[in-house]
Amino acid sequence: MAVLNHRKVAVIGCGFVGAASAFAIMESGLFSEMVLIDVSKDKAEGEALDISHGLPFAKPMKIYAGDYKDISDAYVIIVTAGAGQKPGETRLDLVKKNVGIFKSIIPQIADVNKDAIMLIVANPVDILTYAAQKLSGYPENRVFGSGTTLDTARFKYLLGEHLGVDSRSVHAFIIGEHGDSEIAAWSSANVSGIPINDFCEMRGHFDHETSMKKIADNVKNSAYEIIEKKGATYYGIAMSVRRICEAIVRDEKTILPISSIQHDNHGISDVALSMPAIVGKDGVECTVPISLSDQEIADLKLSADTLRGVIDDVL
Ligand SMILES: NC(=O)c1ccc[n+]([C@@H]2O[C@H](COP(=O)([O-])OP(=O)(O)OC[C@H]3O[C@@H](n4cnc5c(N)ncnc54)[C@H](O)[C@@H]3O)[C@@H](O)[C@H]2O)c1
């Protein structure tokens, strides 16, 4: 195993998401070196300069635009490079385009570094996580996607607002695909151990069905709404990336709904999707078997089938 610098991170793709993630990482003080890579060297250099100028107000670190040879000792490699959907383009066209980009990027990473932890953020994140593992030959625990970490943050935020409680006291997960077939795991949702419906009633909300549907739909449609209003989403995902890096670097063994390749999880295998998992210094330690209702399990299987269909089409 090569010697890695455990204080070194790389961000590949310096668009909205890559730049916002790099900024959030700089503010975190978790790393002492950050390499930015983009097909546009100017873009990577511009972001490296701009973010570096905030360092006198943060913690010392080296931030620079680099090449693949510069990431041979990086501990965490974050891949955000990917095209966004263009008007008139189908979802499958976009998948094909981004799988094409991954076929160029991932082997270049694996050529110089076989031991890092690869965090996939580009969309469709579940398909690209699966592709990245196959293209890199990395062990499965060291390639995972941000998955539904952002959707789960949106879910907790909305529940916190609805119930007038700190969103950090809400324990609830969005699982499955990061996308249209995702599932709000209501049956295990709670606020500090109190089942969600009991807590709702304590706060004066009794129409559970209507509220649950409204909140889950709102989570699912957040990205569409933000993209319609400002063109892209990046702050929420940047905070999610920072949180995942924190769990890795500090070996926190935090439970996060990241996307990883499943093995006979509720009968689901050979597809990457999000389930709560323990995340620490070696990446994904194991998934956590939260209890799910029969309906949630059926919906999870449908979500897996949707993803499997796309994998069969493009890989
Ligand atoms: N996982 C999530 O929760 C989540 C949230 C928001 C956005 N995203 C996804 O993140 C991705 C990036 O979004 P964005 O808004 O930053 O897009 P963007 O177009 O602003 O940035 C993409 C960047 O990737 C670069 N790039 C393209 N091909 C490359 C290659 N071969 N090598 C290196 N760099 C390359 C481009 O030059 C560009 O700077 C998209 O796929 C988007 O859907 C994911």
174-203 pLDDT tens trace: 999 999 999 999 999 999 999 999 999 999
CA pair distance 22, 78, nearest whole angstrom: 10
Number of domains in the chain: 2
DSSP assignment of 112-180 equals: H-SSSEEEE-SSSHHHHHHHHHHHH---GGGEEE-TTHHHHHHHHHHHHHHHTS-GGGEE--EEB-SST
162 annotated as ligand-binding: no
pTM of the model: 0.98
Return the CATH number at 128. 3.40.50.720
282 annotated as ligand-binding: no
- Say yes or no: 44 and 85 in one domain: yes
- Say yes or no: 301 and 181 in one domain: yes
Return the CATH number at 250. 3.90.110.10
Most ligand 1 atoms within 8 A of CB, residue of 36, 37, 39 to mutate: 39
Q: Rounded to the nearest whole angstrom, what is the distance from the C-alpha of residue 97 to the centroid of ligand 1?
A: 12
- Say yes or no: 130 and 185 in one domain: no
Q: Is 178 a catalytic residue?
A: yes
98 annotated as ligand-binding: yes
Is 11 touching ligand 1 by the criterion CB < 6 Å?
Answer: no
Is 119 touching ligand 1 by the criterion CB < 6 Å?
Answer: no
pLDDT at 85 over 90: no
Owning domain of residue 303: 148-313
CA pair distance 70, 160, nearest whole angstrom: 42
Q: Rounded to the nearest whole angstrom, what is the distance from the C-alpha of residue 94 to the centroid of ligand 1?
A: 12
- Say yes or no: 84 and 136 in one domain: yes
Measured CA distances, 168 to 122, 159, 178, 218, 284 (Å): 26, 10, 21, 19, 22
CA pair distance 94, 181, nearest whole angstrom: 17
Measured CA distances, 132 to 57, 103, 120, 145 (Å): 36, 8, 8, 10
> What is the per-residue pLDDT across 47-83, written as a single tens digit (0 to 9) for each?
999 999 999 999 999 999 999 999 999 999 999 999 8
Q: What is the pLDDT of residue 245?
A: 99
- Say yes or no: 114 and 162 in one domain: no
